[in-house]
């Protein structure tokens, strides 16, 4: 069965949305994004570059080794349409790669060598925050049809929301771990006081002094000493 | 900053700001706000009266009850008529709550995104039903309280000695007693805690009461020899 272009794009959206259910992996999501972009948006190859929490860009997904090489090259030169799109948060379209300015020479040479004639870099952007770009490579020169560009931006938006959502989940996981660690060490310190109070037959306050002094003398953290005491690896 | 003082900061004393909004918004007679679980620890932060505090302590000791369910299910647990038409089956908690004089009981979870912070328990002596507006108000208030508690925990994170010494509901004595019992019996901390829990259950007292006896030397498990756990 042959799908019309609209049906194809709708199906692509449904697939992207599917990736976002429950325990999704960002890499799966992005691979899906580039595969669908190539299939339905007339791209010969496509790729996604994503910035980490420190703003460092990296190539996360591509449909071909050729497009990956061109993207990686832009990263090392830190120049080219993908970089510009990331920096400005705007779509950067190049209808004929032979005509790019000289500052993008390294990009131009590598892109032509890999058989690409045109490129569109679409920002992965939510409001003021740009987290990466979706890059569509084409083998023939010319502008990407307006409709395809709109669809590409919509794909990119869905992916952006998915990535940011996943990151906020990871952050709350980090908070959870830190809090649990803090709580555990508080509890273990109390337990260690009890152990020392029992074994040395001293009041609780004095037990804490013994633990603290031992930690200082041996240049260890109180939490660590307390844990050793509760696990009975250490006897004060 | 964060220089420790032996005196509690004045704002920390009764912590009424946690339960007061619930008492003003809902037709309840008592409210207790507690952190629950391994995120912030299981401990009452603030209670409007001794019955409210007792209800939470019972649930902590027994490991069952509306606050546990509310947090696990991420939704309110409502018992408008505990004596005549109980909705849930808490085998140990329900009779104990009725004995404490409770007629209706409502628990709202404190959640911040995916994080489970704790729960707010409210009670009345006579049966009473909450309407939709009450439930919504309590849900919102519980959310706000959860955020405040999480922020407070994040602010104090990393201090070896927490400022919670001022909390009259602190369960740190129980952790200290756990340490003493694990040394007395040469068992793990988890087992020692269970020994305290079992003894409390068998002697019909709270884990905190048993813990204080351990700490004061009135109860020493190494002196008990496989008996029924009664020291006196």
B180-190 pLDDT tens trace? 999 999 999 99
What confidence score (pLDDT) does residue A12 get? 77
**Which secondary structure element, helix H or strand E, spans residue A77, and what is its range?**
helix A65-77
By the 10 Å C-beta count (0-12 exposed, 13-18 middle, 19+ buried), B186 is classed as: exposed
pLDDT digits (tens, 9 = 90+) for A66-81: 888 888 878 877 889 9
Question: Does B41 contact A187 at a Cβ distance shorter than 8 Å?
Answer: yes
What is the CATH number for B36?
A: 3.30.450.40
From chain B, pick out residues whose CB is under 8 angstroms from the CB of A165. none
Same-domain pairing of B129 and B43: yes
* Structure-model confidence comparison of residues A158 and B176, the more confident one: B176
Q: Which of B127, B156, B185 is the last residue of a domain?
A: B156
The pLDDT-based confidence of B6 (bands split at 50, 70, 90) is: very low
Same-domain pairing of B48 and B150: yes
* Structure-model confidence comparison of residues A172 and B166, the more confident one: A172
Mutation target to probe the B interface, by most B beta carbons within 10 A, among A183, A202, A229 is A183
d(CA B93, CA B63): 9
CA distances from A63 to A42, A48, B117, B118 (A): 13, 9, 44, 47
Name the strands in the sheet holding B43-47, side by side, starting at the edge strand that comes first in the sequence. B43-47, B30-35, B115-124, B104-112, B77-79
Which of B113, B153, B175 has its CB closest to that of A190? B175
d(CA B22, CA B141): 7
pLDDT digits (tens, 9 = 90+) for A176-235: 888 888 788 889 999 999 999 999 999 998 999 999 999 999 988 888 999 999 999 999
**Which residues share a beta bridge with B181?**
none
Same-domain pairing of B47 and B102: yes
What confidence score (pLDDT) does residue B11 get? 38
Q: Quick check: is B216 in a domain? A: yes
Q: How many domains does chain B have?
A: 2
Which of B158, B182, B215 has its CB closest to that of A204? B215
From chain B, pick out residues whose CB is under 8 angstroms from the CB of A179. 39-40, 153-154, 157
From chain A, pick out residues whose CB is under 8 angstroms from the CB of B41. 183, 186-187
CATH ID of A5-172, from 3.30.450.40, 3.30.360.10, 2.40.110.10, 2.60.40.10: 3.30.450.40
Task: Note down the domain range covering B103.
Answer: 15-156
Is B99 part of the contact surface with chain A (CB cutoff 8 Å)? Answer: no
Same-domain pairing of B29 and B114: yes
What confidence score (pLDDT) does residue A21 get? 65
Q: Are B120 and B142 a contacting pair, CB within 8 Å?
A: yes
**pLDDT more than 70, % of chain A:** 96
Coil, strand or helix at B64: coil
Which residues have C-beta within 8 Å of that of residue B51, sequence separation ≥ 6? B30, B100, B101, B102, B123
Same-domain pairing of B146 and B41: yes
Same-domain pairing of B134 and B38: yes
What is the CATH number for B214?
A: 1.10.10
CA distances from B40 to A30, A177, B73, B99, B156 (A): 36, 11, 18, 30, 11
Same-domain pairing of B44 and B90: yes
**Which secondary structure element, helix H or strand E, spans residue B110, and what is its range?**
strand B104-112
Which of B40, B172, B180 has its CB closest to that of A198? B180
**Which residues share a beta bridge with B122?**
B31, B106
What pTM was computed for the model?
0.63
Domains A5-172 and A173-230 belong to one CATH topology: no
Distance of CA A79 to the CA centre of its chain: 21
Q: Are B121 and B114 a contacting pair, CB within 8 Å?
A: no
d(CA A169, CA B124): 38
For chains A and B, count residue pairs whose Cβ atoms are closer than 8 Å. Answer: 78
Is B111 part of the contact surface with chain A (CB cutoff 8 Å)? Answer: no
User: Distance from B85 to chain A by nearest Cα, in Å?
Assistant: 38
Q: Quick check: is B163 in a domain? A: no
- B229 pLDDT higher than 60: no
Same-domain pairing of B68 and B117: yes
By the 10 Å C-beta count (0-12 exposed, 13-18 middle, 19+ buried), B11 is classed as: exposed
User: From chain A, which residues contact B within 8 Å (Cβ)?
Assistant: 168-169, 172, 175-176, 178-180, 182-199, 204, 222-223, 230, 232
Is B39 part of the contact surface with chain A (CB cutoff 8 Å)? Answer: yes
Q: Quick check: is B162 in a domain? A: no
The pLDDT-based confidence of B28 (bands split at 50, 70, 90) is: very high
Q: Which two tokens stand for residue A200?
A: 């040395």
CATH ID of A173-230, from 3.40.50.720, 3.30.390.50, 3.30.1300.10, 1.10.10.10: 1.10.10.10
Question: Does A193 contact B179 at a Cβ distance shorter than 8 Å?
Answer: yes
Question: Does B40 contact A186 at a Cβ distance shorter than 8 Å?
Answer: no
Chain B segment 187-216 residues within 8 A of A by beta carbon are 189, 215
Q: Which of B132, B156, B180 is the last residue of a domain?
A: B156
Beta strands B43-47; A45-51: pairing state: unpaired
What confidence score (pLDDT) does residue B35 get? 95
Question: Does B115 contact A189 at a Cβ distance shorter than 8 Å?
Answer: no
**Which secondary structure element, helix H or strand E, spans residue B161, and what is its range?**
none
What confidence score (pLDDT) does residue A1 get? 53
Q: Which of B104, B127, B156 is the last residue of a domain?
A: B156
Question: Does A175 contact B154 at a Cβ distance shorter than 8 Å?
Answer: yes
Residue whose C-alpha is closest to residue A122's, from A109, A132, A112: A132
Give the mean pLDDT of chain B: 87
Same-domain pairing of B95 and B210: no
Mean pLDDT within B4-15:
41
Q: Which backbone phi and psi does B35 adopt, to 5 degrees?
A: -85, 145
Coil, strand or helix at A140: coil
Which residues have C-beta within 8 Å of that of residue A4, sequence separation ≥ 6? none
**Which residues share a beta bridge with B119?**
B34, B109
From chain B, pick out residues whose CB is under 8 angstroms from the CB of A182. 153, 157-158
From chain B, pick out residues whose CB is under 8 angstroms from the CB of A170. none
Question: Does A175 contact B38 at a Cβ distance shorter than 8 Å?
Answer: no
From chain A, pick out residues whose CB is under 8 angstroms from the CB of B110. none
CA distances from A87 to A80, A124, A152, A174 (A): 11, 11, 19, 29
Same-domain pairing of B81 and B149: yes
Domain ranges (residues) in chain A: 5-172, 173-230
Same-domain pairing of B192 and B216: yes
Q: Quick check: is B165 in a domain? A: no
* Structure-model confidence comparison of residues B223 and B192, the more confident one: B192
Q: Quick check: is B231 in a domain? A: no
Which of B115, B177, B182 has its CB closest to that of A172? B115
Same-domain pairing of B24 and B103: yes
């Amino acid at each position: 069965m042959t799908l019309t272009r609209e049906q194809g794009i709708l199906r692509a959206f449904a697939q992207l949305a599917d990736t976002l259910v429950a325990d999704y992996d960002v890499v799966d999501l992005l691979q899906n994004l580039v595969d669908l972009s190539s299939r339905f948006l007339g791209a010969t190859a496509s790729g996604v570059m994503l910035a980490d929490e420190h703003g460092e860009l990296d190539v996360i997904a591509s449909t071909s080794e050729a497009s990956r090489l061109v993207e990686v090259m832009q990263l090392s030169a830190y120049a080219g349409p993908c970089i510009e799109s990331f920096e400005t948060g705007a779509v950067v379209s190049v209808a004929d790669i032979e005509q790019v300015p000289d500052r993008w020479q390294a990009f131009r040479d590598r892109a032509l060598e890999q058989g690409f004639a045109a490129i569109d870099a679409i920002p992965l952007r939510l409001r003021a925050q740009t987290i990466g770009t979706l890059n569509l490579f084409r083998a023939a020169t010319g502008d990407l049809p307006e409709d395809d560009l709109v669809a590409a931006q919509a794909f990119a938006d869905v992916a952006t929301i998915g990535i940011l959502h996943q990151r906020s989940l990871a952050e709350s996981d980090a908070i959870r771990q830190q809090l649990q660690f803090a709580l555990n060490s508080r509890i273990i310190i109390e337990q260690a006081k009890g152990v020392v109070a029992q074994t040395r037959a001293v009041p609780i306050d004095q037990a804490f002094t013994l633990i603290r002094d031992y930690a200082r003398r041996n240049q260890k953290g109180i939490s660590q000493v307390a844990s050793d005491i509760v696990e009975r690896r250490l006897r004060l | 900053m964060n220089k420790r003082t032996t005196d509690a900061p004045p704002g920390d004393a009764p912590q009424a700001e946690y339960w007061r909004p619930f008492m003003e918004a809902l037709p309840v007679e008592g409210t207790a706000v507690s952190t629950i679980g391994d995120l912030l620890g299981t401990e009452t932060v603030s209670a409007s009266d001794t019955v409210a505090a007792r209800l939470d302590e019972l649930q902590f000791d027994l490991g069952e009850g509306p606050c546990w369910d509310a947090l696990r299910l991420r939704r309110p647990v409502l018992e408008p008529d505990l004596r005549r038409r109980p909705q849930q089956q808490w085998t140990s908690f329900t009779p104990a709550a009725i004995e404490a004089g409770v007629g209706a009981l409502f628990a709202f979870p404190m959640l911040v995104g995916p994080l489970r912070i704790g729960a707010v328990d409210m009670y009345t002596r006579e049966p009473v039903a909450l309407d939709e507006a009450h439930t919504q108000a309590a849900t919102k208030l519980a959310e706000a309280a959860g955020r405040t508690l999480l922020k407070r925990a994040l602010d104090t994170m990393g201090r070896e000695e927490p400022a919670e010494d001022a909390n009259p509901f602190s369960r740190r004595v129980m952790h200290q007693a756990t340490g003493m019992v694990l040394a007395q019996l040469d068992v793990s901390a988890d087992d020692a805690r269970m020994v305290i829990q079992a003894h409390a259950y068998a002697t019909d007292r709270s884990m905190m009461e048993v813990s204080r006896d351990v700490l004061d030397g009135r109860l020493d498990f190494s002196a008990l020899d496989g008996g029924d756990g009664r020291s006196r």
